[in-house]
Amino acid sequence: MNSALITFTTLSFVSANDLKLNNIISTLEKATFFFENTYDRLNLDGVVGFRLLQAQLEDALKRWSLSGPEAASQYTKVDDLVRRLDLIMVKAIKAIKANDPVYFNAFQQILHTNFWSLNPGWTQTDTKLVYPVLRAAECFGEDISDRCMTELLGTWEDNGVPCLETGTCRRLMRTLNCPDYSLSHQLLYFIIAEHKRCSNIVGAQHKESKASLVIQGYKKIFCSNMMKRNLEIEDNDFPFYLQDLFLENVMLCGLVGFSDFYKAQWLEPIVMWQQADGCFGKPDESASPPMKEQHEFTEHKRVKRRDRQLKDGCSSHMTAVAVGALGGYLRFSGTS
């Protein structure tokens, strides 16, 4: 390969990466504008998505490794996003505390940026860990999921002890072959356990270092199966009623370091799902699944955390997982 061709190839690569980053940043700017205008109408889970976005952007700025012609401008835009998010977060947290004090007290810890510790290393999922068969329905519901997580957080009662694990939670959070939101919530459970240093949840006989290895093993099992689910959703042309689950899987598994969730071919559809006002949600009636299919999914499979539907079909939860996923794409693209 001659020097001219090498130069052309390098410039093409840089331009493609710049284009991708600019697209991500533009999408996040629109989403942040939406947050600034609706912060008092989002529920806690919705605000958590923007807090996770902030944590990922701050980490990206600390480890920014780009040096192309647009790198300085991109860095400045990301820094501006962090400043905007930090300012509006104060108001958003105050609004949640007033609007839903019980839920706020239970989960306020996950509203802190330092809760979302980010590993600088990256790994890949493993197809050998994919379940041969899945259960026909979710393994548990939202109420049980919330209860198990508050036991780890220590907010299950006033002055509760953290890292508590009842027999029910121990069994459900380790149940294999769970589908969809049960699966992603099992992963979230272990993320919380890791942050709280709950080495007891993998057995009192384990020292903290060994407990960490056990938790990493669960993460790899869960994310390998979440990858399989996302590939199925992609093969089915991303039906609207599965987009929220798809985004939650990208957000959570990317968060714990599985870089294969940041596939280039997934970025374009994710960006296209954003609505004109910056939110994510139901675009129109024609995008809905048939009524029977939608009913079955809602009644028998859906176990995602609380949602709040806003005007024009905007979803608090879907917007949260979308910005969380895109923050991960930017962090991976800007620091790899």
d(CA 137, CA 134): 8
Please give the DSSP secondary-structure letter assigned to residue 310.
Answer: -
> Do 18 and 70 meet the contact criterion of CB atoms below 8 Å apart?
yes
d(CA 176, CA 135): 9
Please give the DSSP secondary-structure letter assigned to residue 206.
Answer: S
Buried b (16+ CB within 10 A) or exposed e, 182-194: bbbbbbbbbbbbb
Calculate what percentage of the chain has a pLDDT beyond 70: 85
pLDDT the model gives residue 204? 46
d(CA 96, CA 275): 24
Lowest mean pLDDT among 85-89, 142-146, 206-210, 234-238: 206-210
d(CA 254, CA 268): 17
Q: How confident is the model at residue 66 (pLDDT cuts 50, 70, 90)?
A: confident
Q: Which two tokens stand for residue 103?
A: 């839920």
pTM value is 0.88
d(CA 53, CA 331): 10
CA angle in degrees (0–180, nearest 5) for 301-304-310: 115
Residue 67 pLDDT greater than 50, yes or no: yes
Mean pLDDT, the chain, integer: 88
Q: What is the DSSP string of 119-144?
A: -S--B---GGGS-SS--SS-SS-HHH
Q: Which two tokens stand for residue 191?
A: 């993320």
Longest dimension (CA), the chain: 70
Alpha carbon of residue 59 to chain centroid: 15
pLDDT the model gives residue 138? 97
Closest alpha carbon to 168 in 156, 160, 179, 158: 156
pLDDT (tens digit, 9 = 90+) per residue, 89-146?
999 999 999 999 999 999 999 999 889 889 889 999 999 999 999 999 999 999 999 9
> Do 215 and 202 meet the contact criterion of CB atoms below 8 Å apart?
yes
pLDDT (tens digit, 9 = 90+) per residue, 139-179?
999 999 999 999 999 999 988 899 999 999 999 999 999 99
